[in-house]
Amino acid sequence: MTFRTIIEPFRIHSVEPLRMTTPGERRAALDAAGHNLFSLRAEDVLIDLLTDSGTGAMSRDQWAGIQRGDESYAGSPSWFRFLESVQDLFPFGHVIPTHQGRAAEKILFSVLGGPGRIVPNNTHFDTTRANVELTGATAVDLVIPEGRDPSSLHPFKGNMDLDALDALLTEHGAEEVPVVFVTITNNSGGGQPVSLENLHGVRAVCDRHGVSLFLDACRFAENAWFIREREPGQADRDVADIVREMASLADGMTMSAKKDPLGNIGGWLAMDDAELAERCRTILVITEGFPTYGGLAGRDLEALAQGLREAVQHDYLRYRIRSTAYLGDALLAAGIPVVQPIGGHAVYLDAGRLLAHLDPLEFPGQSLAAALYTEGGVRGCEIGSVMFGLQPDGSERPAAMELVRLAIPRRTYTQSHIDYVIEVCERVAAGAADLPGYRITSEPRPLRHFTATYEPIT
Ligand code: F0G
């Protein structure tokens, strides 16, 4: 018999205090931050759902690994334990450690990018897009049409549009397209998974055109769990085995180990092509560090070696995916529009629908995120026209969706924290029609959302 309640498959071993604040204190803090939630002091946030990146709780065994960390400059045993863990799941011949995912992107696109080049992806994450564009190349998003529709119930809304990919490769060919990327799960599209069938399809299109395929694999374990749950014929498979099949379809990968590998820092670049690896390692040595530690300390490599083993455990993944859906299902039951189906690492509020009185360029997502903070100290992240609206030529174009992401740090908050978040969302939704639009008063570029300042439109 199975129980209705899926409990956290751990007990708490060490705690961090949370600081309670009043609505007046939060309004003042937000004013001082130029209305940008990234500019708040984290102590002024009660429940921090800004990101699931590097914010998870490490396990007892990961902390034990930290003690075991060997800080030899070259050839540390911690490096070999890390390498073994990575290659157990992703058996690429060359693994290049970096301090986080965007460093892996920067190195790879320094080699593969450049003016006139085109990089297709189901949906580029913002740092991935920025690293492609920084080289003068063009980043193109080719997710299936259902992936842009917040209410479509397609089980694999992260899938690549294979016809669109084929058309792009037919037009531009391998000279202009150095690599095809698939992001698993599709973060910017709602944390939606990509099916094995679709990955096989992308591989076939790439083979037809002689182009290599890389995975942006940050949330590979959550993606594999969705495959196990949703894809015909996969229900009895071990998640690690599904991950290996995903890896076998690709020529390489970039990874932010701050997500599914359960690290607070870390990443890597991996590939089979020895010549490409050599060119990447050259940049690594100049910008990150020696090839057996990259941008990381030996202790970080140990934490990741252990985190990777925990990331594919079924009890953990069942809890992880269920606890994200718990939040999403409760919001749906309260009539609050969210991206469906509920993704793996986050619940995405549909600010475009909830704040339908605002134009996309009045930044409904920013408005909703600010309101969640002032109401209850909950910090989420706009994923909409602030993040994606500013074009390389300086013009503004509304994003495909206006979302606020409530990302769930791994193993960090309990069900009662989430019950509180649900209450805050309900209160804000009740007054959503009165929330103001925002205008941007200063912005850097690219990646303006991190440090832009705003003011409400009165
Ligand atoms: N790719 C994806 C799909 C990501 O979600 C991220 C980071 C990166 C690459 C870059 O990795 O942060 O280690 O440099 N996403 C975080 C987020 C920041 O909040 O979603 P990084």
Examine the pLDDT at 1 and tell me if it is beyond 70: no
- Check pocket membership of 183 for ligand 1, CB cut-off 6 A: yes
Ligand 1 atom showing the smallest separation from residue 50 Cα: 19
Average pLDDT, the chain: 96
pLDDT tier at 401, thresholds 50, 70, 90 = confident
Q: Mean pLDDT over residues 345-369, rounded?
A: 97
Q: Mean pLDDT over residues 18-34, rounded?
A: 96
Is residue 198 a contact partner of residue 162, using CB atoms and an 8 Å limit?
Answer: yes
| CATH architecture for the domain at 23-52+313-456 | Alpha-Beta Complex (3.90)
Tokens, residue 353: 């629908």
Report d(CA 148, CA 144) in Å as an integer.
7
Q: Atom 15 in ligand 1: which residue has the minimum CA distance?
A: 53
The pLDDT tens digits for 284-318 are: 999 999 999 999 999 999 999 999 999 999 999 99
Q: Can you give the pLDDT at residue 69?
A: 98
- Check pocket membership of 128 for ligand 1, CB cut-off 6 A: yes
Q: Can you give the pLDDT at residue 189?
A: 80
Q: Which residues of 289-301 are buried (b: 16+ CB within 10 A; e: fewer)?
A: bbbbbbbbbbbbb
Share of the chain above pLDDT 70, in %: 100
The pLDDT tens digits for 384-393 are: 999 889 887 8
E strand segments, 304-443: 346-350, 378-379, 381-383, 403-407, 438-442
- Check pocket membership of 256 for ligand 1, CB cut-off 6 A: yes
Domains of the chain, by residue range, sit at 23-52+313-456, 60-311
Distance from Cα 187 to the centre of ligand 1, integer Å: 8
- Check pocket membership of 293 for ligand 1, CB cut-off 6 A: no
Q: What angle do CA 66, 71, 72 make, to 5 degrees?
A: 150
- Check pocket membership of 127 for ligand 1, CB cut-off 6 A: yes
- Residue 278: Cβ within 10 Å count: 11
CATH 3.30.450.40 applies to domain 60-311: no
Do domains 23-52+313-456 and 60-311 share one topology? The answer is: no
Examine the pLDDT at 446 and tell me if it is beyond 80: no
Q: Mean pLDDT over residues 331-340, rounded?
A: 96
Q: Mean pLDDT over residues 356-385, rounded?
A: 97
Examine the pLDDT at 2 and tell me if it is beyond 80: no
Ligand 1 atom showing the smallest separation from residue 345 Cα: 20
Ligand 1 atom showing the smallest separation from residue 257 Cα: 13
Q: What angle do CA 28, 22, 327 make, to 5 degrees?
A: 105
Q: Can you give the pLDDT at residue 35?
A: 97
- Check pocket membership of 268 for ligand 1, CB cut-off 6 A: no
Instruction: Select the more confidently predicted residue: 394 or 10.
Output: 10
- Check pocket membership of 121 for ligand 1, CB cut-off 6 A: no
Nearby residues of 305 by Cβ (< 8 Å), 6 or more positions away: 65, 78, 81, 82, 84, 85
- Residue 9: Cβ within 10 Å count: 14
Confidence (pTM): 0.95
Report d(CA 249, CA 247) in Å as an integer.
5
Q: Mean pLDDT over residues 142-169, rounded?
A: 95
The pLDDT tens digits for 203-224 are: 999 999 999 999 999 999 999 9
E strand segments, 225-314: 252-256, 267-271
Q: Can you give the pLDDT at residue 422?
A: 98
The pLDDT tens digits for 49-78 are: 999 999 999 999 999 999 999 999 999 999
Q: Mean pLDDT over residues 4-8, rounded?
A: 87
- Check pocket membership of 187 for ligand 1, CB cut-off 6 A: yes
Distance from Cα 125 to the centre of ligand 1, integer Å: 7
Report d(CA 201, CA 160) in Å as an integer.
9
